[in-house]
């Protein structure tokens, strides 16, 4: 006992020693990334290459995201993406959020969820300095008006009608054409106008801002957990005045945003999505409503979660069974250093938490250039861990085969390898079926742990549903029930095999 | 000399205590040699040295043209190859049968020819059927060992060894684990093989069998050969005191 204890202490110490330099330089200790997409070509004040150092991207949205990510305990990582491809990129999973002057509109809300607004503004008309006849939308009849492609301004102009609309990729080109007289007016989001029109002495603002609009952070529809975190983070930044400081630094603080923030801070007004979201939590449900809602969860759990859980478990177990056999054979038959290494493997993987192993594989290995996808990391992590247990099963099974079997095989002229392959291992396999089946059921339930490495499986889906609807008990029982029913066939199988082998042995007992 | 087996000055000890101390004897082709002696005298150890299941400390064993010699310094790999060549020539039958329980009788018999000699399944099965018919198990091909009686199991084990076409068959108390009623059927097989000219070395306590069938009887005591000769000599006129004491218990 004492020797074993000392041994594991030594192993643990060596893990720390090996792991220490690795961890301090690694990402594993740093916060999780919060990846967001935007288009730095969009320009000031949103996102632009720093004029002093073009390799750096700056903008009020960069400052916003740095603060927000910090508030969420994560690290802001900007991902460049073409502006009109930002939402498809989000849906493809290239990044977690889109933050790039995205107006909250009802048609976009069908594709993505929006956070509470982080900025409110309107559209600003600009004209040449000498122009005095244009002061409102109504004055644009028969004129040539420039704007940005796919923007709210473009839709306002289309709705108003009666003018020629020119859509630009780039605000510079639009304002240049206005100066040159190719356009009579330009309608753009007020912050853009502040940066590209106001400083130009040949241009001026015409009239007050038109229509109110709000920018929101877009989040994938299936990610209510993240949405909730973003909203909480934004609200905190609003209440502490952090956002206002950022906007003042960028000279885009305005009355609209001021009013918006007052409402948000006092809890008066929430973004539409936020309202939908909180309604789910606070609404009292009748029993039949509740049951209908649970019936609605079932397909989500069964389609999104269960197959992945089953797949990871089966692949992980196949890996564990194969590696376990190799480890056991090395331990029993290979020469000294190898045999010792196999033993060390078993002790280390049995003696350290699976959770830590998964973290090391998923977040640690990339530091030495091995970047595994979540599913591969999950299968490898479960497989490596359970291989240690399977190795022990096999070792016990092989050692339980009578010595006479080995002697009979050798006396027939077989090599050791042939003896193992045709005589010993097949018999050991039959002995280890019951313990291996039991381990599979344990692995099946342990697979819930891989949700920590971004795997979306049964437990992850449970977490998402439970936090969205704030219903940990109902969804929890439902999920546990699914695990139970899915594990049932394997429990049955284990018992059936055990009974079968027991009766066989009774016949064999000569 | 026409001897098929030659053992000279064979020595073996376990942790300092000698199990075999200087055994020498020869076996001619087609002879049936019976080894008798009290429990613990080294009969099993001697037999196991003959097919390399036990490694001896000194002396030499030759079977056919394969020689195991402690003084020949062979590499690990060469030695293992030599052992395997030897074992292919020597069939071994154990007291506890040691059939492979996960295989049918037929599979037990074809396994080694297919795996070791690389015979194809069809000819291996053909030969296996022939041998199993000879030992009276033609009707039990698809049975598992657990479904056979002790006598049938031991006959299957003999068939398994015969399938490798060995030059020599070794038996270590082949009938000791059997009900008295089943002993005869196993001895009958050995008798039949003797008639066919198989060279056999048998450790047994079946003195009637030894007297009737053996060409020569070797008496072992405390790791030494104390006497050897024709069954007539040993059973009717034993010279050594220890032989007389031993035989009294069986006759
Ligand atoms: N693997 C072993 N390790 C230690 N001692 C052994 C080993 N095998 C045999 N011996 C010893 O060597 C001696 C000879 O044993 P062996 O089994 O050859 O006797 P035997 O004549 O076959 O006896 P029995 O009639 O009981 O089978 C005995 O004293 C036994 O205890
Ligand atoms: Mg013995």
CA-to-CA separations, A198 to A51, A118, A124, A187, A403, in angstroms, rounded: 19, 23, 11, 13, 93
The minimal CB distance from A510 to the residues B116, B117, B150 is found for B150
pLDDT digits 0-9 by tens, A420-432: 999 999 999 888 8
- 3-state DSSP helix/strand/coil percent for chain A, to nearest 5? 65, 15, 25
The superfamily in CATH containing domain A31-117+216-265 is: Periplasmic binding protein-like II (3.40.190.10)
pLDDT digits 0-9 by tens, A478-491: 889 999 998 888 88
Q: Which chain A residues are closer than 8 Å to B80 by Cβ?
A: 415
A501, A433 contact by CB (below 8 A): yes
Instruction: Please indicate whether the domains covering A31-117+216-265 and A119-214 agree at the CATH topology level.
Output: yes
Greater confidence, A198 or B114? B114
pLDDT digits 0-9 by tens, A259-306: 888 888 887 555 554 445 445 555 567 777 778 878 877 887 788 788
Confidence of residue A85 (pLDDT cuts 50, 70, 90): confident
Decide if B101 touches A, using CB distance below 8 A. yes
CA-to-CA separations, A494 to A310, A426, A439, B234, in angstroms, rounded: 17, 18, 10, 60
Query: At residue B156, does pLDDT exceed 90?
Result: yes
Give residue B47 CA to ligand 2 midpoint distance, Å: 9
A68, A233 contact by CB (below 8 A): yes
Confidence of residue A452 (pLDDT cuts 50, 70, 90): low
Pick the residue of A412, A419, A424 with the most B CBs within 10 A to test the interface with B by mutation: A412
- Give the pLDDT score at A476: 87
Q: Which chain A residues are closer than 8 Å to B161 by Cβ?
A: 411-412
> What are the structural domain ranges in chain A?
31-117+216-265, 119-214, 287-509
> What are the structural domain ranges in chain B?
3-248
The minimal CB distance from A430 to the residues B80, B102, B147 is found for B102
Give residue A417 CA to ligand 2 midpoint distance, Å: 28
Query: At residue A494, does pLDDT exceed 70?
Result: yes
Residue nearest to atom 28 of ligand 1 (CA): B40
Decide if B112 touches A, using CB distance below 8 A. yes
Query: At residue A369, does pLDDT exceed 60?
Result: yes
Greater confidence, A491 or A416? A416
Percent of chain B residues past pLDDT 90, beyond the cut: 89
Confidence of residue A469 (pLDDT cuts 50, 70, 90): low
Quick one: average pLDDT of A146-156? 82
Q: Across the interface, do B94 and A405 touch by the CB < 8 Å criterion?
A: no
Question: A76-80, A88-92, A200-204, A465-469: which has the minimum mean pLDDT?
Answer: A465-469
Alpha helical stretches, state H, A25-119: 60-71, 86-92, 106-109
Residue nearest to atom 2 of ligand 1 (CA): B14
pTM of the predicted model as reported, rounded to 2 decimal places? 0.63
Confidence of residue B33 (pLDDT cuts 50, 70, 90): very high
User: Residue A190: phi, psi to the nearest 5?
Assistant: -55, -45
> Rounded mean pLDDT of chain A?
83
Q: Which chain B residues are closer than 8 Å to A503 by Cβ?
A: none
Confidence of residue A93 (pLDDT cuts 50, 70, 90): confident
A489 CA: distance to closest CA in chain B (Å): 26
Alpha carbon distance A104, B102 (integer Å): 70
Decide if B92 touches A, using CB distance below 8 A. yes
Greater confidence, A486 or A42? A486
A422, B111 contact by CB (below 8 A): yes
pLDDT digits 0-9 by tens, B177-205: 999 999 999 999 999 999 999 999 999 99
Of B11, B13, B14, B220, which is best to mutate to test ligand 1, by the most ligand atoms within 8 angstroms of its C-beta? Answer: B14
Greater confidence, A337 or A494? A337
- The fold of B3-248 is Rossmann fold (3.40.50)
Angle between helices A255-265 and A242-249 (to 10 degrees): 170
Query: At residue A434, does pLDDT exceed 60?
Result: yes
Q: Which chain A residues are closer than 8 Å to B92 by Cβ?
A: 407-408, 411
pLDDT digits 0-9 by tens, A113-133: 999 999 999 899 999 999 999
Q: How far does Cα B246 stand from its chain's mean position? A: 22
Give residue B207 CA to ligand 1 midpoint distance, Å: 21
Confidence of residue B37 (pLDDT cuts 50, 70, 90): very high
CATH level 2 (architecture), domain A287-509: Orthogonal Bundle (1.10)
A259, A129 contact by CB (below 8 A): no
- Give the pLDDT score at A464: 61
Quick one: average pLDDT of A469-486? 82
Question: Can you read off the two tokens belonging to residue B249?
Answer: 């218990």
Q: How far does Cα A265 stand from its chain's mean position? A: 29
- Give the pLDDT score at A490: 84
Question: Can you read off the two tokens belonging to residue A335?
Answer: 């020469």
Instruction: Supply the DSSP symbol for A31.
Output: P
Query: At residue B49, does pLDDT exceed 60?
Result: yes
The superfamily in CATH containing domain A119-214 is: Periplasmic binding protein-like II (3.40.190.10)
Q: What is the value of ipTM here, to two decimals?
A: 0.95
> Rounded mean pLDDT of chain B?
93
């Amino acid at each position: 006992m004492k020797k074993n204890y000392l041994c594991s202490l030594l192993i643990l110490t060596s893990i720390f020693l090996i792991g220490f330099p690795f961890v301090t330089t690694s990402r594993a200790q740093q916060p999780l990334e919060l990846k967001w997409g935007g288009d730095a070509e969009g320009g000031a004040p949103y996102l632009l290459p720093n004029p002093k150092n073009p390799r750096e991207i700056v903008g009020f949205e960069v400052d916003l995201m740095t603060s927000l990510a910090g508030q969420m305990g994560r690290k802001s990582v900007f991902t460049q993406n073409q502006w009109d491809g930002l939402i498809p990129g989000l849906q493809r999973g290239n990044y977690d959020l889109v933050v790039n002057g995205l107006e909250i509109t009802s048609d976009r809300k069908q594709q993505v969820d929006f956070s509470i607004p982080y900025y409110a503004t309107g559209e600003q008309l600009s004209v040449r300095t000498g122009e005095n006849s244009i002061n409102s939308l109504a004055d644009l009849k028969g004129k040539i008006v420039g704007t940005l492609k796919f923007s709210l301004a473009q839709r306002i102009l289309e709705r108003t009608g009666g003018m020629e609309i020119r859509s630009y990729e780039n605000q510079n080109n639009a304002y240049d054409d206005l100066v040159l007289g190719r356009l009579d007016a330009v309608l753009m989001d007020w912050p853009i106008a502040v940066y590209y029109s106001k400083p130009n002495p040949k241009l001026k603002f015409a009239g007050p801002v038109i229509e109110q609009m709000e920018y929101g952070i877009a989040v994938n529809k299936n990610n209510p957990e993240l949405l909730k975190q973003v909203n909480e983070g934004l609200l905190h930044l609003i209440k502490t005045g952090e956002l206002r400081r950022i906007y003042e630094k960028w000279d885009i603080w305005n009355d609209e945003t001021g009013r918006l923030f007052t409402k948000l801070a006092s809890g008066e007004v929430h973004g539409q999505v936020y309202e939908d979201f909180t309604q789910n939590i606070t609404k009292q449900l009748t029993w039949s409503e509740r049951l209908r809602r649970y019936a609605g969860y079932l397909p989500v759990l069964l389609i999104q979660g269960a197959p992945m859980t089953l797949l990871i478990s089966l692949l992980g177990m196949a890996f564990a069974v194969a590696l376990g056999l190799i480890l056991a054979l090395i331990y029993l038959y290979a020469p000294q250093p190898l045999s010792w290494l196999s033993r060390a493997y078993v002790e280390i993987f049995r003696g350290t938490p699976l959770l830590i192993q998964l973290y090391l594989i998923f977040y640690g290995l990339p530091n030495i250039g091995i970047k595994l996808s979540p599913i591969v990391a999950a299968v490898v992590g479960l497989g490596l861990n359970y291989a240690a247990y399977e190795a022990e099963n096999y070792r016990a099974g092989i050692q339980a085969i009578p010595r006479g079997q080995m002697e009979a095989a050798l006396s027939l002229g077989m090599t050791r390898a042939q003896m193992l392959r045709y005589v010993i291992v097949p018999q050991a396999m039959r002995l280890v079926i019951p313990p291996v089946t039991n381990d599979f059921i344990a692995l099946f339930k342990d697979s819930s742990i891989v949700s920590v490495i971004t795997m979306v499986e049964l437990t992850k889906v449970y977490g998402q549903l439970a936090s969205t609807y704030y219903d940990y008990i109902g969804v929890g029982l439902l999920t546990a029930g699914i695990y139970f029913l899915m594990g049932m066939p394997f429990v049955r199988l284990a018992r059936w095999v055990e009974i079968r082998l027991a009766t066989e042995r009774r016949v064999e007992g000569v | 000399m026409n001897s098929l087996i030659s053992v000279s000055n064979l020595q073996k000890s376990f942790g300092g205590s000698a199990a075999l101390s200087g055994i020498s004897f020869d076996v001619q082709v087609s002879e049936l040699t019976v080894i008798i002696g009290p429990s613990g005298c080294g009969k099993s150890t001697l037999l196991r040295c003959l097919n390399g299941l036990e490694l001896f400390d000194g002396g030499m064993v030759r079977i056919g043209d394969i020689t195991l010699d402690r003084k020949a310094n062979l590499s690990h790999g060469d030695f293992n190859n030599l052992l395997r060549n030897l074992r292919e020539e020597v069939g071994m039958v154990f007291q506890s049968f040691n059939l492979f329980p996960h295989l049918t009788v037929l599979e037990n018999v074809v396994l080694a020819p297919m795996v070791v000699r690389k015979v194809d399944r069809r000819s291996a099965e053909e030969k296996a059927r022939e041998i199993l018919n000879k030992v009276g198990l033609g009707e039990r091909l698809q049975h598992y060992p657990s479904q056979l009686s002790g006598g049938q199991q031991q006959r299957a084990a003999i068939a398994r060894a015969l399938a490798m076409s060995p030059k020599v068959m070794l038996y270590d108390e082949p009938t000791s684990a059997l009900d008295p009623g089943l002993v005869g059927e196993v001895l009958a097989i050995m008798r039949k093989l003797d008639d066919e000219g198989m060279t056999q070395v048998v450790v047994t306590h079946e003195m009637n069998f030894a007297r009737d069938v053996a060409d020569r009887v070797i008496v072992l005591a405390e790791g030494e050969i104390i006497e050897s000769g024709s069954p007539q000599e040993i059973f009717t006129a034993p010279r050594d005191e220890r032989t007389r004491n031993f035989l009294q218990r069986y006759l």
